[in-house]
Structure 1
Amino acid sequence: MNNVLGYYLMPHPPIIIPDVGKGEERKIEKTTNACNKIGAEISDLKPETIIVITPHATMFSDAIAISDEDRISGDLSQFRCMNVRMDVPIDRQFNEKLSLACHFEGIPAAKVDTDLLRKYNHGFKLDHGTMVPLYFVNKYYNEYKLVHVTYSLIGNMSLYKFGMEIEKVAEELGRKTVIIASGDLSHKLKEEGPYSYSPYGEKFDKEFLEGLEKGDVNSLFNMDSTMIEEAAQCGLNSVYILLGAMEGTKFRGELLSYEGPFGVGYGVMRFAREDEESSALDLLIKSKEEKMRKKLSEGNPYTKLARESLNYYFTHGSKIKDISNLPAELLNKKHGVFVSLKKFGALRGCIGTIAPTTNSVAEEIIRNAIEAAFNDPRFPAVHEEELEDIDISVDELMDAVPATREELDPKKYGVIVTKGYKRGLLLPDLEGVDTVEEQLDIACSKASIDSGDDYQIEKFEVIRHKEGE
């Protein structure tokens, strides 16, 4: 008997709650109806434990957080709503079993409480990513204990395996359980949304929901990384955990509603496991190994050299000296070069040079790859075992030319600001940098220049090389 009785994807827009929406919630009536349907369905299932996976409680970069006190409470006062409050008991026995299982399986997870969170200046409380889905559950049913999970950027495979442990613990305890993956889809569906419009937004939502409907785990784990980053979504990692909880059998998703009138995609879905056994885990492991093989053997020579530089440094403790066998395009050009390292979509290191400091682009890449891994003051040094989860990009900087504000375009041009000995640079086409003012403000901040001061502006173009291209 499967003790996990239901699997759901639910969005968490506070505006859907009438006391917050003040009438605007009527624009997402289909979402409201679908969430009510799930609430009534969960009431019929009568679970003892509800697990909510949220992106909006305190998130740690290196471990999944499991809230662990006798009770947890919260309200929506940050959204000017004083009437919606929750106080729910926590299933600490489930927490203990889950934490222990993760320890034995090497999955980074930690129980968190008031004392621990206080050290990080955070409170132990329910977040809106949990409260909005539970708002629709509590209308129909409240005889449950909660397992409150905040996902972490530890990689899709670790999240999937965490989901597998959730399912195992439910079985071991004989606990009637429901799992809710809380997450909104793209926040870039419209210019008037919370982020600027991106064509990747609608594309992500379509591919994501289609993959879930088909039960195609492999497609969901191999979505285009640029599309995921550009979509500005917060549901994918919650779903990775949900998918792991369904490991072992085929499944299908039933889309109950999808809307996006405010520029954010809201998808509501229920999942049904089928009788046919099917393991996605082996396929996912093989797919990850194949991705790594391609990074090492295929693609452009720029990112390949950056990766080879890191591999060589970890093996020999020094940088590559013999570059005679490299392609001529790397040896015959001199440019400033930035090397960026991203781990699970989050920046892990970035160091570069505005103008060439060596005799070739090749030497610039070798040097700056090592600098990005070990000497970016914002991050601890990269460990060798992290390399398989890191994606590398290399930006060649073309010569900078003087510019006025009117000549800038943050998507096309990078910018350099200079005042006396102070100098700051910002690359073009960065996530979240959509206006000239934003670009200049960040560049000035990096240089410790007051944005109201007079300073010189230069613009430059880059040639960006990414792994897999």
Structure 2
Amino acid sequence: MGDFIGFAVPHPPLIIPEIGRGEEKACQKTINALLELKEKLRNMNPETLVVISPHAPLFSDVVAININDKLSGNFGYFGAYNVNFSYQNDRELAQALIAAAKQEGLAVAGIDESLARVLRVPVSLDHGTMVPLYYLDPERKYKLVVVSQGLIPFSELYRLGTVIKEVAAKFQRRIALIASGDLSHRLTEDAPAGYDPSGRYFDRMMVEIFSKGDPWELLTLDTSFAEQAGECGLRSFIMLFGAFEGYQVRSRVLSYEGPFGVGYMVAEVAKGEEDANRNFYPKLMNKKKEEIKKRREQESPYVRLAREALETYVRTGKTITPPMPLPEIFSRKAGVFVSLKKDGELRGCIGTIAPTTGNLAEEIIKNSLEAGLNDPRFEPVEEKELDELTYSVDILYPPEEVSDLSELDPKKYGVIVSKGYRRGLLLPALEGVDTVEKQLDIARRKAGIAPDESVKIERFLVERYY
């Protein structure tokens, strides 16, 4: 492969003197570590910096790569308009990454100014990119490629990292891969996202992973735990390690500190000798297959029907009919929600509050197809995804109005918030929804109801099946 090095770096705007105006001194360990990495870059003299930023245009179903000729931006949003950045995009490398990723079936797309206008997203350099470059490349001497994170499965992000490695080898590029991302934003009571004890545990875990250079724990991390910790760099780090698939690594943490309730880590990952034992992607795929196989061996009749309904339609275009004679468990009527997940991430969820069909079997079939094909948040499920999906079925009890918030419990009850024709529903026991306030806030936002509007609140119980 071409010469290759990787950095994990934070991006607090306050470390920029023109923004911090003295407060940057609270992050001196971080600044010193970045300056040390700058010398590494000078010695290596890479042709291109590939920056993965959580603050580049972010999409739920695709990783975006900027393909504009020029990449520019400033810190005007933070009051420092005079700190400007301008780079030549390494479009040859960017286009090759997109083409190679698509060939692997990965959800990657190029974004330029015209598409950005349609999507109403900015394409100027974001602070997740500019803050590290302020220290790592003060002379703006290298070419640049900017990659967004993308809320796609961890396995696909890791695979995209391996694609970066392969394209770098093909073009014999000297590349520095810069994974931009802070750690937990919930380290203290006055932290930006509030306090959560999982924050410190998450940060210790990240420091240990980078100290050892072992990404396996990253790849198998519970997504709900990461969300609870309030992190922003995890997906960048996964792509970074993917770029070293099949190689020994020399990994070290240069600094860690947690001022302002946010964790900042600076780390370096360097390529060593080839090592077949460090091919983690096949192990990850095997683990996932075994887990799904075990889950399907134990799935309930409701889930089996939902799965068979979607698989049959995607593969044949035909809608199955309920099993006949109809088993007693399917003969009742009820509202049903069918949820699909892929690699622990939501892939579709649609349902009915009250029954709309003749029996529970018909309700499950109908809503399974809706969740897989017509959830507006996602593209329709494709045949190649079917073996990677997991399902759950929620059977709803009739809702009842509540007069006091003390009657709610997000772990036990789902909630319906309504104002006129606007109505938002949230199922119970959802990952990351652990307070009544958060449950109601999400339900309000789903309905387009402002926080200060009076609403009707209902609660409901569910039977959840896997």
TM-score, structure 2 length as denominator? 0.84
Q: Distance in 2 between matches of 1:447 and 1:110?
A: 31
Q: Give 1:246 deviation, angstroms.
A: 0.9
| 1:387–1:144 CA distance, 2 compared to 1 (3 A) | same
Q: Give 1:93 deviation, angstroms.
A: 3.2
Q: Give 1:131 deviation, angstroms.
A: 0.6
In the alignment, what sits opposite 1:459? 459
| 1:277–1:375 CA distance, 2 compared to 1 (3 A) | closer
| 1:121–1:289 CA distance, 2 compared to 1 (3 A) | same
In the alignment, what sits opposite 2:24? 25
The question of whether the paired residues in 2 share the 8 Å contact of 1:312 and 1:320 is answered with no
The question of whether the paired residues in 1 share the 8 Å contact of 2:52 and 2:148 is answered with yes
The amino acid of 1:33's aligned partner reads N
Gaps of 5+ in 2: none
The question of whether the paired residues in 2 share the 8 Å contact of 1:153 and 1:344 is answered with no
Alignment match of 1:256 (pick from 243, 254, 270): 254
The question of whether the paired residues in 1 share the 8 Å contact of 2:227 and 2:432 is answered with no
Q: Per the alignment, in what secondary structure is the counterpart of residue 42 of structure 1? A: helix
The amino acid of 1:13's aligned partner reads P
In the alignment, what sits opposite 1:234? 232
Q: Distance in 1 between matches of 2:380 and 2:4?
A: 44
Q: Per the alignment, in what secondary structure is the counterpart of residue 141 of structure 2? A: coil
Task: Write the mapping of 1:58-73 to structure 2, written as runs, cut at 5 A.
Answer: 58-73=57-72
Q: Give 1:17 deviation, angstroms.
A: 2.0
Residue by residue, what CA displacement relative to the aligned partner does 1:148-170 show, whole Å, maximum 9, x if unpaired?
A: 22233343343333322322333
Q: Per the alignment, in what secondary structure is the counterpart of residue 7 of structure 1? A: strand
| 1:311–1:229 CA distance, 2 compared to 1 (3 A) | farther
Q: Distance in 1 between matches of 2:198 and 2:393?
A: 22
In the alignment, what sits opposite 1:224? 222
Range 86-95 or range 337-346, more displaced: 337-346
| 1:28–1:166 CA distance, 2 compared to 1 (3 A) | same
Q: Give 1:351 deviation, angstroms.
A: 1.6
Range 358-367 or range 34-43, more displaced: 358-367
RMSD: 3.5
In the alignment, what sits opposite 1:94? 93
Aligned length: 462
Task: Write the mapping of 1:61-460 to structure 2, written as runs, cut at 5 A.
Answer: 61-139=60-138, 142-278=140-276, 279-298=279-298, 303-315=303-315, 317-322=318-323, 336-343=335-342, 347-356=346-355, 364-407=363-406, 409=408, 411-412=410-411, 413-418=413-418, 423-428=423-428, 436=436, 439-440=439-440, 442-444=442-444, 446=446, 455-460=455-460
Range 30-39 or range 338-347, more displaced: 338-347
Q: Per the alignment, in what secondary structure is the counterpart of residue 129 of structure 2? A: helix
The amino acid of 1:69's aligned partner reads N
| 1:171–1:138 CA distance, 2 compared to 1 (3 A) | same
Range 50-59 or range 416-425, more displaced: 416-425
Q: Give 1:334 deviation, angstroms.
A: 6.4
Q: Give 1:13 deviation, angstroms.
A: 1.8
Gaps of 5+ in 1: none
The question of whether the paired residues in 2 share the 8 Å contact of 1:90 and 1:145 is answered with yes
The question of whether the paired residues in 1 share the 8 Å contact of 2:4 and 2:270 is answered with no
| 1:447–1:65 CA distance, 2 compared to 1 (3 A) | closer
In the alignment, what sits opposite 1:55? 54
Q: Distance in 1 between matches of 2:97 and 2:450?
A: 50
| 1:94–1:370 CA distance, 2 compared to 1 (3 A) | closer
Report % sequence identity. Answer: 45
Range 262-271 or range 398-407, more displaced: 398-407
Q: Distance in 2 between matches of 1:362 and 1:436?
A: 32
Q: Give 1:144 deviation, angstroms.
A: 1.5
